[in-house]
């Protein structure tokens, strides 16, 4: 069974074609700069073909049409015809409170995803548009599945997901904490429980997904009980260009002082803050690590803030769960930066955390235990695409029964 996994971002469309017989990635690629001039599709196949084609994409519809063309013709061709695609799994940013798990896509599901546009303005509309383009190109007979970034966090209790603002705004506008990166938090936490045989026992796990966007979640007995991102992916940790949590008064203070419109304020918090805003140098964690080694003070400050905040989340989530059995690192920074992991874990011996320095520095690119204390610390490379593909197969197989 060949599954096409689609991850539509605000101006990009990433894809993977996976053969689920052996979970082998046949081809993958990305359509970039959708809606902006200078569009580009990059495409790689398992036979080693690498393509980079300039091609303007006015919208996600044209990008989807182009990726179908690249999969079925020319140098990067990997299938004869779209009929070889058994089903499509779509990543969806926001499922509101409606979608608590992955779901077969119907017209109503697409309408719902579109209707949550206020909760995910940059993602939900292009994701709904991509589903419609996919239906058009592949036909109604090819099943599609929506896998939501928010659904894993739907098990949080209300004391964790409510904000202390008038209750009517929750009722009127669904304002509450939703959490994101749910597919990654689900994969990493459940994979850890599987490989360590803790699946059916009691477990208190903190998952640190640290990349350009970063979030942390507390997972008790396999269920999410709290997470750092909120109504939108702006909340929680300081990130590449996002501020993370700030005192809400800063927003009105700056709007008054600088005369920002709501959109301009939004851009400051989402695009000009975080590592970039603090360092004045780069949004990329690796650049900051290198610059701080050369004595760049604000690059070091950005790294220090990030690591300190993560340390505090681990402590607070251990308190929320009544203890801690494991801390799991994933994402570009979580998987690759031994320095960040060492500094985050330093001083957490009182929680039973003790890193094995040699293991922490050894790069395996695989699941890897890096601790020697009572509380386990692991690197578990995330695999969101494979999780989406597995959910798709599971739902499609149920359909056939």
Helix, coil or strand: residue 154: helix
Q: Please, are residues 225 and 321 in contact by the beta-carbon 8 Å criterion? A: yes
* CA nearest neighbour of 6 among 186, 134, 139: 134
Residues 6+ apart with CB under 8 A from 194: none
Q: Which of 56, 107, 149, 226 is catalytic?
A: 149
Residue 336 within binding range of ligand ADP, rule CB under 6 A: yes
What is the number of the residue whose Cβ is closest to ligand ADP?
332
Site for ligand ADP in 213-232 (CB under 6 A): 213
CB of 385 to ligand ADP, least distance (A): 11
Task: Render 18-77 in DSSP notation, one character per residue.
Answer: EETTTTEEEEEEEEE-TTSSS-EEEEEETTS-EEEEE---SSHHHHHHHHHHHHHSSTT-
Region of 19-27, 78-86, 283-291, 304-312 interacting with ligand ADP (CB under 6 A): 283-291
Residues 6+ apart with CB under 8 A from 95: 113, 116, 146, 148, 149, 150, 151
Q: Give the 3-state secondary structure of 249-293.
A: HHHHHHHHHHCCCHHHHHHHHHHCCHHHHHHCCCCCHHHHHHHHH
CB of 281 to ligand ADP, least distance (A): 12
CB of 184 to ligand ADP, least distance (A): 9
CB of 271 to ligand ADP, least distance (A): 14
Q: Please, are residues 156 and 105 in contact by the beta-carbon 8 Å criterion? A: no
Site for ligand ADP in 240-269 (CB under 6 A): 240
Site for ligand ADP in 289-328 (CB under 6 A): 289
Residue 332 within binding range of ligand ADP, rule CB under 6 A: yes
Residue 207 within binding range of ligand ADP, rule CB under 6 A: no
Region of 65-73, 91-99, 248-256, 333-341 interacting with ligand ADP (CB under 6 A): 333-341
Q: Please, are residues 102 and 145 in contact by the beta-carbon 8 Å criterion? A: yes
Q: What are the Cα distances from residue 188, in Å, to 49, 106, 299?
A: 31, 29, 29
Q: How far apart are CA 123 and CA 287, in angstroms?
A: 28
Q: Which of 70, 333, 344, 379 binds ligand ADP (CB under 6 A)?
A: 333
Q: Which of 70, 238, 276, 285 binds ligand ADP (CB under 6 A)?
A: 285
Residue 212 within binding range of ligand ADP, rule CB under 6 A: yes
CB of 400 to ligand ADP, least distance (A): 33
Residue with smaller CB distance to ligand ADP, 7 or 103? 7
235 counts as catalytic: no
CB of 284 to ligand ADP, least distance (A): 4
Tokens read off for 295: 């004595």
Residue with smaller CB distance to ligand ADP, 29 or 211? 211
Query: Starting at the edge strand that comes first in sequence, how are the strands of the sheet with 144-148 ordered?
Result: 50-54, 40-45, 24-32, 13-19, 2-8, 85-92, 144-148, 103-104
Residue with smaller CB distance to ligand ADP, 176 or 307? 307
User: Number of residues in contact with ligand ADP, rule: CB under 6 A?
Assistant: 13
Region of 38-46, 205-213, 249-257, 294-302 interacting with ligand ADP (CB under 6 A): 205-213
Q: Which of 284, 356, 359, 383 binds ligand ADP (CB under 6 A)?
A: 284
Helix (H) or strand (E) segment spanning residue 114: helix 107-115
Active site residues: 149
């Amino acid at each position: 069974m060949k599954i096409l996994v689609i991850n539509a971002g605000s101006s990009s469309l990433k894809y993977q074609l996976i053969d689920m017989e052996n979970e082998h990635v046949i081809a993958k690629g990305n359509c970039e700069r959708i809606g902006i001039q200078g569009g580009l599709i990059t495409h790689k196949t398992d036979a080693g073909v690498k393509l980079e084609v300039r091609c303007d994409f006015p919208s996600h519809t044209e990008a989807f049409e182009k990726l179908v063309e690249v999969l079925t013709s020319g140098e990067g061709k990997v299938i004869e015809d779209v009929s070889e695609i058994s089903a499509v799994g779509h990543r969806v940013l926001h499922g509101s409170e409606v979608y608590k798990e992955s779901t077969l896509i119907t017209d109503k599901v697409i309408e719902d995803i579109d209707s949550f546009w206020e909760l995910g303005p940059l993602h939900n509309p292009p994701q709904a548009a991509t589903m419609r383009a996919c239906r058009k190109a592949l036909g109604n007979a090819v099943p599609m599945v929506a896998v939501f970034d928010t659904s894993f966090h739907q098990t949080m209790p209300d004391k964790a997901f409510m904000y202390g603002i008038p209750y009517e705004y929750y009722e009127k506008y669904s304002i509450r904490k939703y959490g994101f990166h749910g597919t990654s938090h689900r994969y990493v936490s459940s994979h850890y429980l599987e490989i360590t045989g803790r699946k059916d026992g009691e477990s208190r796990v903190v998952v640190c997904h640290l990349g350009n966007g970063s979030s942390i979640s507390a997972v008790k007995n396999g269920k999410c009980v709290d997470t750092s991102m909120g109504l939108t992916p702006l909340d929680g940790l300081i990130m590449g260009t996002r501020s993370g949590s700030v005192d809400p008064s800063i927003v009105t203070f700056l709007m008054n002082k600088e005369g920002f419109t709501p959109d301009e304020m939004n851009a400051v918090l989402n695009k000009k803050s975080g590592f970039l805003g603090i360092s004045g140098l780069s949004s990329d964690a690796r650049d900051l690590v290198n610059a701080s080694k050369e004595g760049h003070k604000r690059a070091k400050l950005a790294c220090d803030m990030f690591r300190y905040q993560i340390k505090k989340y681990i402590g607070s989530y251990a308190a929320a769960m009544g203890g801690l059995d494991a801390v799991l690192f994933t994402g570009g920074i979580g998987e690759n930066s031994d320095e960040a992991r060492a500094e985050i874990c330093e001083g957490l011996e009182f929680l039973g955390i003790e890193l094995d320095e040699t293991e922490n520095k050894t790069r395996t690119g695989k699941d890897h235990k890096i601790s020697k204390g009572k509380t386990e610390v692991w690197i578990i490379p995330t695999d969101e695409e494979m999780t989406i593909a597995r959910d798709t197969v599971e739902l499609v197989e149920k359909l056939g029964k």
